[in-house]
Structures are given as C-alpha cells and as structure tokens.
Chains A and B, each alone.
Chain A
Amino acid sequence: MSAYEPVIGVEIHVQLSTRTKMFCGCELSFGDPPNTHTCPVCLAHPGVLPVVNEEAVRRAILIGLALGCEIAPESIFHRKNYFYPDLPKAYQVSQFDIPVCGRGEFLALREDGSELRVGITRAHLEEDAAKLTHAGGRRAGAEQSVVDFNRGGTPLVEIVTEPDLRSASDAATFLRQLRQTLLFLGVSDCSMEEGSMRADANVSIRPAGSHEFGTKTELKNMNSFRFLERGIEAEIARQQQILAGGGRVSQETVHYEPETGHITSLRSKEESHDYRYFPEPDLVPVAPDPAWVDELRAGLPELPGALRRRMVSDMGLSAEDAEVLTEAPELVAYFMEAAEHADPKACANWIRGELRAQLRDAGVEPWDSQVTPGHVAELVGLLEAGTVTVPAAKEVLAEMIASGTRPAEVVESKGLGAMDASELAAIVAELVAANPDQAQQLRDGKDKVIGFFVGQAMKRTGGRADPQAVQALVREAVATT
C-alpha cells in the first residue's frame, strides 16, 4: 500500500457572519421560520440589482491577509449560470479569474511539532444558495422539495488550497487550524455541524516518487473533521484498491457515508455543467483602497499559527498544549494573562487539565467562570512555593469555581495549607511504629508498600500532606528504626 502517495487539496466554503446578506439588506438568520428574511433582490424579482456588502469584502480581505494572500487591487464578479430551484436568479454571483485574494500560504503545526505548509491558491467571495428540503426521497426521487430562501444570498468565502496535503490526518490538521484562524479573525462561526463551514476534498493517489498527478475525485461536504479524515482515508483506500486491481480511477464526485464507511458516487464529472461564466455586468469592480488594506493588515490579531509557535518555542509548552490552548481566542487570552504571572507550563497544565475538567460538568468555559486568570496564576504560585499540595490545590480550585474566592483565602479559611515538616514527620513516625509488618516489608525491598504509608498519611492529614514529602519521610523513618 505504501507504494502509493496520496495527493490532496481542499476547498472550504465559509459563511461570513455579517449582519446582512452579500447583495441585499436582508439580515442573516439561523433557525428563523422559512422565507422570513427575503426581499425582491434575494428572491430575484424582475428588475432587481445586486449591491456588494462592504463588510463581506472587509472580511474576505481579512481572511486573505491572514492566509498571506495577495489582495487584488481590482477584483471582479462573474456569473455562474445554472438552473436549480435553490438559485433564484439561475446564476450565482461569484468570482472567477480575478478573485479578491490571490496566492498565499498557511503554516500549520502537526502534533509532533513539525511544520505543515499548505499553499493557498485563492480565496474568493460569492453568495450562498437557498436551502432545499426534499420530502419523500432524495433529490430526483423526492416527491416534493421545498425552498427556504433565508440562507440564499449569505456571503461566502471559498478558500482553495494547492494539492499540497499528503495524508488524511494532515488534511484534518490543516482544516482544524484554518478554522481556528478564522475564529480568531471573527469572520465566521465556522460550525461544520450547522454548515457555516463546509469542506470538499480533491483526492488522488500516485506511485510514490512520481511527480505526475493521478485522476482526482471530489469528496463532498463532510460535516465534521472526524468524518473528513475518515472519508479521505476511505477514498484513498478505494483508489488504491482500484489501481492495485489494474483498474482506473474515474473523475467523479463522491460521497462518504459515515454510517457504513462506504464511498458512493454522486455524479460523474463528464456530465458536469458548462457554467457559462461571464463578468457580472450589474456590479463594478471591487477596488479596495490600499491604505484601507494596510490598516486591516496592521489590525490583524496574533493568529493561532504564530501563537502556537511562540507557545512552543518561547514558553516551553508542548505542541499539544499549544493546539488545545489556541482552540478559542478567549482561551488564548485567558492563558496568556495567567502565564504573565506564573510558570507558563504549569498554567497550561492547570487550565487545560484540572480547570476545564472541573468546569465541564457545569458546561462553563474558563473565561466565563468565576476563576480569573490571576487566580490561576496565584494557585500555581502556591503550589510552587509548597504552600499547598496538588490534591489540596484541586480542592482549592473547586472552591474557587464555586465562590470566586482567591486561592490564598480558600487555603486559609479551609485550612488546606501544606503541613510543616516536623508535624508531618511526627505523624509518619507514628504510622511506621504502628505498622511494623509493613515497615519490615519495605525494608525487605517491597517498594510498593510505600503507597500504603502515603495513603495512611493522606488520610490522617486530610490531604494536606505533600505525597513526595511523605515518601521521603517514610523511607527515612523505616531506615532509622
């Protein structure tokens, strides 16, 4: 099987979360009753004209800048003509040969810390189609289809990559990190489940070492990263099987069925449409003022890619820490504030570990909780100073979550401070004296028995003892008695 190398490129459609649609003033809506956000323009009544949403252009340019794309001084819209009931004009206003964002490059970071470079071919603006619901069967077999034009005309940015990806897991890594970047830009909700981010993958395989491309198939519309990864894997396997059996892959659109893990063919590309693209005469070119573009560039937030690299190289975090902590811009801000006041690695561990675990049941994110980043840093400080033990710190954290009290105050009021060494030594001496059999076993080299003493000590001290200190004291006591 390793005789073949997969070649993968992806196309991502991102619904922009602007207030209004791409070419009219209707508000975007999710979950409102069907056909309540429509007007003559988005319903394509006779005589209407499109007007470009400036905010959508701004967001497309932000995406382009974040992906290192060239921003076209003058991009134009084209009409993509085809008949379908979800497209009321019977053409989609899109961009063709001069998109708003040209070539760029995205740097992703694999879990092992290695760099994944993905060339961006282009990113362009277009409008979404309306939503079709088929009743009584799928598509052609349906008894009835109904159209909801609320979604029709939603601004979309389509991002197209070069065929630079070589595995399903790289594709998933790239898409996850691209999604994070878009979230950081605040341009889209990027929900794969709700369809505000949709990805198609172009997949082909070729003999390892070859520089020619094999015949590609287009894997459509996978609604989660997990399905996307599995779908690509299944398609690679299917193509390998075909080639290994002496067959030829045919250029077609395929669909991954998550329930069965099977790939099914949707339509053959040979019968694909001729979209008769031509420049949209109802719109003038998009010519952003270069000063405005510079302003947008200067105002870009620090993006997850750069953040991850900084976290790993400057702050001593693992690639996995960095990936988790850059999941949401709020989490980054939270972590960064804590890390200013205490050891970053320890802050990372506590935030992505215990804090999130304890908050999970309540369904609260750290930044929405009563625990401030400053409190997290303080707790980490208490641990480092040996003022509290790890088990006690977990208890302190629970109280911080419940009441929003500073950790030092919790330690004080609940008496959770670590015990001083002489008090603990006395307890350990008592324990060793009271359990001569276990002490003897330990002397005889049965090291596991140490756990017994630690457990007893923790019980006696209500968790305030530092387990490491207990161990040391037990060994000392056993050796000297």
Chain B
Amino acid sequence: MGLRDLTATEQVAALAAGETSSLELVEAHLSAVEADDVHAFLAIDADGARARARAIDALPERPPLAGVPIGIKDALSTRDIVTTSGSRMLEGYRPVYTATCVQRLEDAGAIVLGKTNMDEFAMGSSTENSAYGNTLNPWDLDRVPGGSSGGSAASVAQRQVPWSLGSDTGGSIRQPAALCGIVGMKPTYGAISRYGLIAFASSLDQVGPLARTVADAALLLRHMVGRDPMDSTSLDWPGDIDVPSATDLQGMRVGVVEELMGEGVEPGVRLAVESALRVAEGLGATIVPVSLPSTLSGLATYYVLAPAECSSNLARFDGIRYGHPLPADNLLDQYEVTRGDLFGPEVKRRIMLGTFALASGYYDQYYGRAQRVRTLIVREFAEAFAEVDLLASPTSPTVAFPLGDRTADPYAMYLADVCTIPVSLAGLPAISIPCGLSDGLPVGLQLAAPAFAENRLLAAAHALEGVLEFDTRPPGLAT
C-alpha cells in the first residue's frame, strides 16, 4: 500500500507517528497530480506545496491537518495561484486574496497542491463545460465524472489527493461524488463562508468536502465551519463537527422520498439504493416512505432562481479590472465582444435565462413565483423532518454517462441534478456516499438532514459506510 492509499485521517496519524513527512506525502501525491491521467487539475502549485511541506515539517508542533495535501476547486480564490473558474474569461487570473475556507484549511496545516477542473463558473453536471477540456471518470475514461466539481471528485477517486474542496449549488459536490464513487457533502447553507467562492448563485452556493471516507469529510468540514466576518450569510456554528464513530442506526427514522425513486431513475441505481436502505434497516433504522410533491417543481424553480442570480453575479466580468478585454471601438462593443467571446455557451444560456426572468414585467411571473415555490419546498422539508430524522434518495438518477452524451441536450443535462436540487433550495445539509455498483459504475446514496444536523448526517453515513464496504478504488487504478 502506498502513501496515496492512506485516507486523510490515516495520513494525519502516520505523520503524528513519525512514519512519514509532509514533504514525502506531498511528493507522492504531486507525482500523480502532475501525471494527471484524468485531467482533474487546471493549475498545479508544486513549488509552493513543497515549500509549505518543508516549513510544516520544520515546525516544533504540528497543526491538526499538518502536511496533508488537498485539491481545491478552481471556483475558490487562491492568492497567487491562477484561478479561472473553468472560464476563458479568467484565463491567467491570479487572485490577490485567498478564500476564507481555504485559508482556514491552510491555517490548520493542509497543503494545496493545485486547482481542480470544473464546469465553467460551476454551471454544468459533467465538467464538459470547462473551457480547458473535460475531466475523465476514473471508473471509465469514456465517461463523465459528473460536475460541476468533476475535477475535485475525479482527483479524489484517482487518489491524486486524499480529499478536495468542491462547491455545490444544485448538486455540484454530491453528483460528481456519486459518479466517481466517493463521499461528497454539502453542508447547511451558511455553515462555511462563501468569501472567495466565485459566485454562481449566491443564495444556493455552498462549499463542501469530497473525500474517500465519511470520517475524512467530517474532519475537513470541522476545520471550515463557522462565522466569517467577510460573509454576512455565514453562521455561528453550534458546537463542533464530530468525527463520526457510530456503527448502527438504532432509533433512526429514515424517510425515502417517493418522488425521487420513481420515473427517470435507472433500475440499477434504484436497486443499489434500495439494497442500501435494507442495510440501513439491518442497522436498526426504520424506513418509511415520505412524499415531497413540490420537489417535482424543484428543477424548474432552480432554473429560474440560479440563472437570475448568475446573470447578476457574472455581470462584473468585463475583462477590464482582471482578465483580458478584447479590443473594440467603444464601450458597448467591448462589453459585447469580451463577454460574447470569452463566456461559453452554457454560461451565456443561463445569463440570458436569468436576465429574462428578472426583466420588469416578467419578474412576478418567473423570479417571484420561483421564490414562492422555494418557500413551499422549504416548508415541505420542514414538515417531513417533523416525522423523520433523515431523508434518503439516489444522489443521481443515473450512473456516469458517456462523454458527449448530453452536451447537445441541456435539459437532459439539467436532469442529472433532479435529486440534489430540492435539498439545495431548502438550504439543508446532505451527503452522498457510494452504495454499490450498477454495470460496474458507482451509485450514490443521498442522505439529507435538517439544518445544522451535520453530526447526525455524518454519523448515519459513517455507520452505513462501515457495512456497505464499498471499494473506492477504480478498477483501472494501479495499486
């Protein structure tokens, strides 16, 4: 077993026991990052990582995550490391500041190896919307890794890094985690500061961990949560994130969302999820069906609200203060040429959708109505959680689909997030854990919990993980 086969928790332990050094860990992972067989990385900071590793090795006292390497989604601002958000608009852009969540991890000793590939501005479910080429799924190199945090998910599955950061707006952590056979978690909205996360849809965006185990995800989360004075929507975290140790689900009531188990869900996915639920029952959980009818409107609601916010969030990109303006004769032409050429088609589609949805005369019909449906969805989840402790569903209705399969059909692509979007609209925490294979490809089980019930969620996911014994090693990955 090589150093790359150690989980992050195991790496922390090995470092503490003096069995390895930060520099050794960094070198072992860097070689895989530099080889990058799945095109998971857009930028590599080898020199910076080595320098930090040496500095940490020289410390008399190790910080808690000392020396453990990490990959950071390119949507997160990293000082001096090129940050593109997967867009040509930000080609070569070196930020002058580091995102709060990344800073907190660095303060805890984590070492950033580089920036991971993503759908442009986090808009997509396959990482095929990246302006810098698509990432491959380590389980099948002809298939997508999911998205938009596809690089973060593939890099963890490929064991280039033990864990990584992603961002999730409608499923962008959970869906690629599911498609790559790893753990991905979206915390409660406000749990982690968004300062430094290049905004897609501000009311939905959340940073979260991707890892090979639930315990690793919990460990990473623990070092990021809490109020940040730079983000007014961030929250004081009640208590602490526990590293989970539960081995059963005694007394736990798990609701299965009926609307997300029916039509559109692949039989192999449904089978894997149902068998995982039986395992949960075996661990002492009570499984009950739950109906959340308004979740069926989730996708439509999301595709009004998220584009509306994105049309405004992306308006700042004009190539003037950062990036590169394209030459033009006057100001209006410069806006049009720069934005017209440097944004990709999906980004432009959503900007136009959102601009329309906010236009006076259409506001009530689209944005206003979508906000009201969102309120309904929030209420339905609250009612459901009065009856159950957790909600379960597939994370993605399908396993990883072939590259190019859905690029011509935006709606088919949007359907990839049908199970994850309602939870995002409600601002609730959810985790995807691998629960089995369908045709040799990983299937993700999504568990969702009430706001701030991260510890409950992690404990249940950990207990299930222990019994499901999913092997996160992709078949093609050399040992």
Tell me the A35-50 residues at the B interface (CB within 8 Å). Answer: 40, 43-50
B232 adjacent to A49 (CB under 8 Å): yes
Chain B residues closer than 8 Å to A275, beta-carbon distance: 360
Encoded as 1 (CB less than 8 Å from any A CB) or 0, chain B from 290 to 321 comes to 00000000000000000011011001111011
A47 adjacent to B322 (CB under 8 Å): no
A83 within 8 A of partner (CB): yes
B367 within 8 A of partner (CB): yes
Give the contact stretch, choosing among B64-72, B173-181, B198-206, B447-455: B198-206
Chain A residues closer than 8 Å to B311, beta-carbon distance: 81, 276
Q: Give the size of the chain A interface in residues (CB under 8 angstroms).
A: 29
Chain A residues closer than 8 Å to B197, beta-carbon distance: 47
* Closest Cβ–Cβ distance, residue A23 to chain B (whole Å): 9
* Closest Cβ–Cβ distance, residue A92 to chain B (whole Å): 11
A88 adjacent to B316 (CB under 8 Å): yes
A137 within 8 A of partner (CB): no
A51 adjacent to B315 (CB under 8 Å): no
B332 to chain A: closest residue by CB: A83
A52–B196 Cα gap in the complex (Å)? Answer: 17
A278 adjacent to B308 (CB under 8 Å): yes
Chain A residues closer than 8 Å to B316, beta-carbon distance: 44, 46, 88-90
Given contacts A45-B322, A83-B315, A88-B316, contact A50 B232 (CB under 8 A): yes
A277–B359 Cα gap in the complex (Å)? Answer: 8
Could you give 8 example pairs across A and B, Cβ below 8 Å?
A40-B97, A45-B77, A45-B321, A49-B194, A49-B230, A83-B335, A281-B202, A281-B233
A40–B83 Cα gap in the complex (Å)? Answer: 15
B23 within 8 A of partner (CB): no
* Closest Cβ–Cβ distance, residue A33 to chain B (whole Å): 18
A145 to chain B: closest residue by CB: B331
A43 to chain B: closest residue by CB: B321
Given contacts A45-B97, A49-B231, A278-B363, contact A90 B318 (CB under 8 A): yes
* Closest Cβ–Cβ distance, residue B426 to chain A (whole Å): 15
* Closest Cβ–Cβ distance, residue B1 to chain A (whole Å): 38
A43–B320 Cα gap in the complex (Å)? Answer: 11
A283 within 8 A of partner (CB): yes
Give the contact stretch, choosing among B88-96, B241-249, B253-261: B88-96
A278 adjacent to B367 (CB under 8 Å): yes
Contact of B202 among A46, A52, A282 (CB under 8 A): A282
A274 within 8 A of partner (CB): yes
Chain A residues closer than 8 Å to B77, beta-carbon distance: 45-47
Chain B residues closer than 8 Å to A90, beta-carbon distance: 312, 315-316, 318
A275 to chain B: closest residue by CB: B360
B229 within 8 A of partner (CB): yes
B76 within 8 A of partner (CB): yes
Chain B residues closer than 8 Å to A49, beta-carbon distance: 194-195, 230-233
Chain B residues closer than 8 Å to A284, beta-carbon distance: 232-233
Chain A residues closer than 8 Å to B317, beta-carbon distance: 46
B285 within 8 A of partner (CB): no
Q: Give the size of the chain B interface in residues (CB under 8 angstroms).
A: 45
B196 adjacent to A47 (CB under 8 Å): yes
A46–B91 Cα gap in the complex (Å)? Answer: 13
A91 within 8 A of partner (CB): yes
Chain A residues closer than 8 Å to B233, beta-carbon distance: 49, 281-284
Encoded as 1 (CB less than 8 Å from any A CB) or 0, chain B from 113 to 137 comes to 0000000000000000000000000
B424 within 8 A of partner (CB): no
A316 within 8 A of partner (CB): no
B232 adjacent to A276 (CB under 8 Å): no
B85 to chain A: closest residue by CB: A46
Q: A47-B196, A278-B358 are in contact. List 11 more A-B contacts (CB 8 A).
A: A43-B321, A45-B97, A46-B77, A46-B90, A46-B317, A47-B194, A47-B195, A48-B196, A81-B358, A88-B321, A284-B232
A276–B320 Cα gap in the complex (Å)? Answer: 23
A79–B367 Cα gap in the complex (Å)? Answer: 14
Tell me the A267-294 residues at the B interface (CB within 8 Å). Answer: 274-278, 281-284
B160 within 8 A of partner (CB): no
Encoded as 1 (CB less than 8 Å from any B CB) or 0, chain A from 62 to 96 comes to 00000000000000000101010100111100000
* Closest Cβ–Cβ distance, residue A142 to chain B (whole Å): 10
In this complex, the member of A47, A79, A277, A281 whose beta carbon has the largest number of chain B beta carbons within 10 angstroms is: A47
- Looking at chain B's contact residues, the main secondary structure is loop
A283 to chain B: closest residue by CB: B232
Chain A residues closer than 8 Å to B221, beta-carbon distance: none
B99 within 8 A of partner (CB): yes
A49–B229 Cα gap in the complex (Å)? Answer: 10
A274 adjacent to B360 (CB under 8 Å): yes
B355 within 8 A of partner (CB): yes
B363 adjacent to A85 (CB under 8 Å): no
Chain A residues closer than 8 Å to B96, beta-carbon distance: 40, 45
Contact of B83 among A46, A83, A276 (CB under 8 A): A46
A239–B144 Cα gap in the complex (Å)? Answer: 67
A170–B299 Cα gap in the complex (Å)? Answer: 56
Chain A residues closer than 8 Å to B90, beta-carbon distance: 46
Chain A residues closer than 8 Å to B196, beta-carbon distance: 47-48
A65–B42 Cα gap in the complex (Å)? Answer: 54
Chain B residues closer than 8 Å to A51, beta-carbon distance: 229-232
A45 adjacent to B95 (CB under 8 Å): yes
A91 adjacent to B315 (CB under 8 Å): yes
Contact of B312 among A43, A48, A79 (CB under 8 A): A79
A83–B311 Cα gap in the complex (Å)? Answer: 12
* Closest Cβ–Cβ distance, residue A34 to chain B (whole Å): 14
A83–B333 Cα gap in the complex (Å)? Answer: 12
A337–B83 Cα gap in the complex (Å)? Answer: 64
A83 adjacent to B318 (CB under 8 Å): yes
Given contacts A47-B195, A83-B315, A85-B331, contact A281 B309 (CB under 8 A): yes
B75 to chain A: closest residue by CB: A47
Encoded as 1 (CB less than 8 Å from any A CB) or 0, chain B from 231 to 242 comes to 111000000000
Given contacts A43-B321, A83-B335, contact A281 B195 (CB under 8 A): no
Given contacts A276-B358, A281-B309, A282-B233, contact A44 B321 (CB under 8 A): yes
A89 adjacent to B315 (CB under 8 Å): yes
A276 adjacent to B359 (CB under 8 Å): yes
A284–B196 Cα gap in the complex (Å)? Answer: 18
A79–B314 Cα gap in the complex (Å)? Answer: 13
A275–B360 Cα gap in the complex (Å)? Answer: 8
B356 to chain A: closest residue by CB: A276
* Closest Cβ–Cβ distance, residue B427 to chain A (whole Å): 12
* Closest Cβ–Cβ distance, residue A24 to chain B (whole Å): 9
- Nearest 9 pairs of A and B residues by beta carbon: A90-B315, A276-B358, A281-B202, A281-B203, A46-B198, A47-B77, A47-B196, A47-B198, A44-B316
A40 to chain B: closest residue by CB: B97
* Closest Cβ–Cβ distance, residue A442 to chain B (whole Å): 82
* Closest Cβ–Cβ distance, residue A259 to chain B (whole Å): 28
A441–B315 Cα gap in the complex (Å)? Answer: 90
Chain A residues closer than 8 Å to B93, beta-carbon distance: 46
* Closest Cβ–Cβ distance, residue A393 to chain B (whole Å): 61
A48–B228 Cα gap in the complex (Å)? Answer: 12
Encoded as 1 (CB less than 8 Å from any B CB) or 0, chain A from 279 to 317 comes to 001111000000000000000000000000000000000
A52 adjacent to B315 (CB under 8 Å): no
Chain A residues closer than 8 Å to B315, beta-carbon distance: 81, 83, 89-91
Chain A residues closer than 8 Å to B355, beta-carbon distance: 276
In this complex, the member of B77, B85, B317, B321 whose beta carbon has the largest number of chain A beta carbons within 10 angstroms is: B321
Given contacts A46-B90, A276-B360, A282-B202, contact A81 B232 (CB under 8 A): no
Chain B residues closer than 8 Å to A88, beta-carbon distance: 316, 321
* Closest Cβ–Cβ distance, residue B99 to chain A (whole Å): 6
Chain B residues closer than 8 Å to A91, beta-carbon distance: 312, 315
Given contacts A40-B97, A51-B230, A278-B363, contact A46 B322 (CB under 8 A): yes
A48–B90 Cα gap in the complex (Å)? Answer: 15
Encoded as 1 (CB less than 8 Å from any A CB) or 0, chain B from 207 to 234 comes to 0000000000000000000000111110
Chain A residues closer than 8 Å to B85, beta-carbon distance: 46
A85 adjacent to B76 (CB under 8 Å): no
A149 to chain B: closest residue by CB: B321
Encoded as 1 (CB less than 8 Å from any B CB) or 0, chain A from 116 to 143 comes to 0000000000000000000000001000
